[in-house]
Amino acid sequence: MATTETAARSDHGAAGKILRIGIIGLGQASGLVLNWERQDIRTLPIRFTAAADLRREALDQFAKEYDAEVYTDVEEMCRSPNVDAVYIASPHELHMEHTIIAARNGKHVLCEKPLSLSAGEVDAMIKACDDNGVSLIAAHSHAMDAPIRAMREVIASGRLGPLRHINALNYNFFNAQPWPSRELQMWHGDLYNQGPHQMDIIRYLGGGMVKSVRAHMWWDHLRDVEGGYSAYIEFENGAAANALFDWRGYFDSTCYTFGASEGGWAQDPGSCGFVRNNMTKLLAEKSPDEAEAELWKLKNDLRYGGVSDLNAFQHWGYAPVSEGFEPFPEPVQPFFGLIIAACDRGIIRQSVKGLYVHGDDGVEEIEVTGHSGRAAEFMQVYDAVFNDTPSFHDGRWGKGTVELCQAIEQSAKEGRAVDLKYQVPVGDEPA
Amino acid sequence: MATTETAARSDHGAAGKILRIGIIGLGQASGLVLNWERQDIRTLPIRFTAAADLRREALDQFAKEYDAEVYTDVEEMCRSPNVDAVYIASPHELHMEHTIIAARNGKHVLCEKPLSLSAGEVDAMIKACDDNGVSLIAAHSHAMDAPIRAMREVIASGRLGPLRHINALNYNFFNAQPWPSRELQMWHGDLYNQGPHQMDIIRYLGGGMVKSVRAHMWWDHLRDVEGGYSAYIEFENGAAANALFDWRGYFDSTCYTFGASEGGWAQDPGSCGFVRNNMTKLLAEKSPDEAEAELWKLKNDLRYGGVSDLNAFQHWGYAPVSEGFEPFPEPVQPFFGLIIAACDRGIIRQSVKGLYVHGDDGVEEIEVTGHSGRAAEFMQVYDAVFNDTPSFHDGRWGKGTVELCQAIEQSAKEGRAVDLKYQVPVGDEPA
């Protein structure tokens, strides 16, 4: 089995340098980073040196746990000389404001998805970072996962000839997780929350330059918001992609990904039904206001400084519920649904350890190393700051992905293909 | 587990009546029917009472095995009073001529796929059958498989609300099987041979009325013909379908269908590479003429009266090659790749025994009974002749499927969506 060197460089600090990160918003994403993904992130040459939030108990816990500065004011934190870059994990509607504050104070920015729900706001964020000479990197994206980077490397290398087609499908239970209705409505179901993962992966594998998209969407009657989309995506280079994403919780497609979740954990097949059943009961038994309050409570459980116990994780489908379910001894590579890329001379798909490359000489499994998830993203900031290696996944890229999600919605609404105009290339192909 | 009554009626002859079938062409399809699928077909209230072919040894074997009439002239066989219907399995270019001969002699027609590669020829076939008051049924179609019929029943019943999306994917090794190049070129790879299976399934599940299709195709450099397509199909009822079919033999998607093949047999995962490797060697070691002769020889092995031994089946990927491979104790339900249908209130997909229906109350497995494959198709003729139950899968339906395959090719060539005009409805929805 071959081993790819994907991002091996990122495993080592540049001459022992440490990137000092200030966190804006100790909410759910930060909870995942600081609790759930902690083991992987602790190995990186980064330190969390500051945090800003409004919740006193979260700040206290953070100060104690990380021996770090804490602030209730974002601007004040951004003036700290002990912060090189900020990780923006505040509510979506504040992403632009916080990015601009950070940029004006000379801090590099890693901003959680979506950068914004409006392409115009993204322009303002890009301009602020450009004007102040700092990096803007769009997080969180499974396109930066190690196996997807390795898949792109095989495609861009040209060893299998030109890419012809990408097949992407994902059936999960996002809408059935205890997201408050207000948030689901803002994200149009999962379109602007996890939709960017799938669109990022497709754009990245296809080289970035989407030409047009034709899409349909459907409704989730349980949450009374968007329930999924199908899309046919055409690239300027002649490749095409079939995309399907259904997040209503009827069915969990981890059965097609070796049982592995988007984090590389063993996904209990029972979680999907468990989570959806909980949501059905909750909405049936409570008034809309009571239900919404309960959902905020359940969401708070996952925030940094929240409950974070087994029961809370089960409610979100993050911890097994089935009797006798066997978790993996350790995480495998992450799978954001099924992704299969067809080139002129072969087909590439993910394996538990990395990739299967099916070519003219048979199948080769490539073991993939390097970080995935948010650990990979912190290292993209690191490389941008210390190794003079800008990430393809910058503000302009993020804008292109928001544009694609908007085009899916527009196409579904107007019943016609929609052309794109803000797409940017990955820029990794041999000249 | 519930059991659906799909086509249960077909399991019993109408008042003990027997349908007497004359076979036109004892070639590869007939070889499959008479050897491979024999066990299932022998249980049907049909008898093979005649056959016409040019190969004397095949006729002799058939006469002996079935105590039946044999002919070297199709017209002569069609005049036999001992034949109610003909099964046309002659070379594709003769389908129209043989259909017209049969119809003029008052015989019902079950015609192998493709009805024709030209919609105009199909019109002549429909007219001949209409004029003579006989049925024309388009075979061979996996849309008539028991689980697909059951899936359509769930959709048409409306219990899950309107259909929104169909996801269909299939990666197989058709082009690497020892088809003579002349045949592959005529079929444009697998587009007009097995493409109709996938398009039939999609049309059937979606109600039949396709509005438009946008598609891409790619090349198979090994066989120097078409290697696959992707398509985005829009229905007049607002549903859409993502379709992917790659038949180059790089990868076998039976890994996503419980290891089951299109016939419901256990598919050895080693067959795909074995078959493609054989083809690669054959084409590398022989001159084009020698290779073509060898391919005809290998094709003849599978004809009725041919070799039909383990080695021949292995060459076609029909028999296991991997040490220690465990076949199923008996066939399960057939899978023509992965098919997932999403409705307003649930998702339907195939299980080993039938269907999983994922709805608001959880998942229900429906065990499916009834015939699949060509056995189901012979029973469609039976029901049309004796039970006054015309098949939806008639000449007009077949024309609509040929039109859709042609539209895929046209869309790929012209780089735009193509509108359809010969589509017909399934006609099973409650008024």
Chain A residues with CB under 8 Å of B245 CB are none
Taking the C-alpha atoms of residue B184 and residue A75, their distance in angstroms, rounded to an integer, is: 68
Residue A116 pLDDT: 85
What number is the average pLDDT over the span A385-409?
93
Mean residue pLDDT of chain B comes to 93
- The mean pLDDT value of chain A amounts to 93
Q: Which of A167, A214, A277 sits opposite B214 (nearest CB)?
A: A214
- pLDDT at A39 exceeding the cut of 60: yes
Residue range B43-64: mean pLDDT, rounded? 95
- Model pLDDT for residues A261-301, shown as the tens digit of each residue: 999 999 999 999 999 999 999 999 999 999 999 999 999 88
User: How far from the centroid of its chain's Cα atoms is residue B158's Cα?
Assistant: 27
Residues of chain A found within 8 Å of residue B230, distances taken between Cβ atoms: 165, 167, 232, 240-242
Higher pLDDT, B36 or A268: A268
| pLDDT (0 to 100) of residue B134 | 96
Instruction: Give the architecture-level CATH label for domain B2-141+373-394.
Output: 3-Layer(aba) Sandwich (3.40)
pLDDT in tens, A167-193: 999 999 999 999 999 999 999 999 999
Q: Reply yes or no on whether the pLDDT at B7 is more than 50.
A: no
B11-16: average pLDDT = 59
pLDDT band, residue B3 (cuts 50/70/90): low
Alpha carbon distance A338, B158 (integer Å): 29
> DSSP secondary-structure letter at B10?
G
Q: Residue A7's pLDDT is what?
A: 40
User: What backbone torsions phi and psi does residue B354 show, to the nearest 5 degrees?
Assistant: 170, -100
The helix-helix angle for B195-206 and B146-157 (nearest 10°) equals 20
Q: What is the pLDDT of residue A4?
A: 52
Instruction: Dig out the tokens for A118 from the structure.
Output: 């409006």
Q: Which residues in chain B are classed under CATH 3.40.50.720? A: 2-141+373-394
Is the distance from CB of A241 to CB of A182 less than 8 angstroms?
Answer: no
Closest Cβ opposite residue B242 in set A230, A250, A344: A230
A345–B167 C-beta distance less than 8 A: no
Least confident of A250-254, A323-327, B10-14, B292-296: B10-14
B-proximal residues of A, 393-422, CB under 8 Å: 417
Give the residue with greater pLDDT, A29 vs B358: B358
Chain A residues touching residue B244 (CB < 8 angstroms): 165, 167, 242
| Contact residues, chain B, for A243 at CB < 8 Å | 242
The average pLDDT across B22-40 equals 85
Asked whether the predicted pLDDT for residue A201 surpasses 90, the reply is: yes
Interface of B with A in 266-285 (CB under 8 A): 273, 277, 280
Tokens of residue B201, six digits: 């399934």
| Contact flag B221-A344 (C-beta cutoff 8 Å) | yes
Q: How far is B356 from chain A (nearest CA, A)?
A: 10
For domain A2-140+373-392, is the CATH number 3.40.50.720? Answer: yes
Q: Do B171 and A221 touch (CB under 8 A)?
A: no
- A358 vs B contacts (CB less than 8 Å): 250-251
Looking at the complex, does the CB of residue A288 fall below 8 Å from at least one CB of chain B? no
Q: Which B positions 122-161 lie with beta carbon below 8 A of chain A?
A: none
The pLDDT of residue B196 = 94
**Distance from the A344 Cα atom to the nearest Cα atom in chain B, whole angstroms:** 7
Nearest CA to CA, how far is B390 from chain A (Å)?
Answer: 34
Q: Could you tell me where in chain A the CATH 3.40.50.720 domains are found?
A: 2-140+373-392
Q: What is the pLDDT of residue B92?
A: 86
Whether the per-residue pLDDT at B5 is higher than 50: the answer is: no
pLDDT surpasses 90 at A38: no
d(CA A126, CA A135) in angstroms, rounded, equals 9
Greater pLDDT, A303 or B48: B48
Would the pLDDT of B311 be above 90?
Answer: no
| Span A81-94, average pLDDT | 95
Residue of B nearest to A254 (CA): B256
Measured in whole angstroms, how far is the alpha carbon of residue B64 from the centre of its chain? Answer: 28
Cα-based distances in Å from B287 to A178, B178, B184, B279, B280: 65, 15, 18, 13, 13
Is the pLDDT score of A6 beyond 60? no
Residue A2: its pLDDT value, please? 55
> Residue A37 above 90 pLDDT?
no
Determine the pLDDT at residue B120. 86
State the nearest Cα–Cα gap between B240 and chain A, in angstroms: 7
Cβ A211 vs Cβ A425: under 8 Å: no
Chain A neighbors of B238, CB-CB under 8 A? 216
Distance from CA of A216 to the nearest CA of B (A): 7
- Contact (CB<8Å) A216/B240: yes
Single-letter code of the amino acid located at A122:
V
Determine the pLDDT at residue B14. 61
Percent of chain A whose pLDDT exceeds 70: 95
- Confidence check: pLDDT of B307 > 80: no
Whole-Å CA distances, A416 to A244, A419, B416: 17, 10, 12
Whether the predicted pLDDT of A119 surpasses 90: no
Q: Which residues lie closer than 8 Å to B186 by C-beta, 6 or more apart?
A: B92, B93, B117, B192
pLDDT (0 to 100) of residue B102:
98
- Predicted confidence (pLDDT) per residue in B189-198, tens digit: 999 999 999 9
Report the pLDDT averaged over residues A348-357. Answer: 98
In the CATH hierarchy, which fold is given to the domain comprising A143-370+404-419? Dihydrodipicolinate Reductase; domain 2 (3.30.360)
Partners of B356 on chain A (C-beta within 8 Å) are 251
What does the H/E/C string look like for A47-91?
EEEEEECCCHHHHHHHHHHHCCEEECCHHHHHCCCCCCEEEECCC
ipTM over 0.95: no
Contacts of B228 in chain A (CB under 8 A): 164-165, 342
pLDDT at A14: 61
Mutate to test the interface with B, among A171, A232, A351 (most CBs of B within 10 A): A232
Q: How confident is the model at residue B67 (pLDDT cuts 50, 70, 90)?
A: very high
CA distance B218 to A6: 29
**Probe site for chain A from B198, B216, B275 (most A CB atoms < 10 A):** B216
Yes or no, beta carbons of A360 and B222 under 8 Å apart: yes
Residues of chain B with CATH 3.30.360.10: 143-371+404-419
Do B167 and A169 count as a contact with CB atoms less than 8 A apart?
yes
* pLDDT band with cut points at 50, 70 and 90 for residue B383: very high
Q: Which residue of A has its CA nearest to B275?
A: A362
Residues of A in contact with B154 (CB under 8 A): none
Rounded average pLDDT over A211-227: 98
Cα(B282)–Cα(B290) distance, integer angstroms: 9
The per-residue pLDDT for B9 is 39
Return the CATH fold of B143-371+404-419.
Answer: Dihydrodipicolinate Reductase; domain 2 (3.30.360)
Among B118-127, B268-277, B413-422, the least confident range:
B118-127
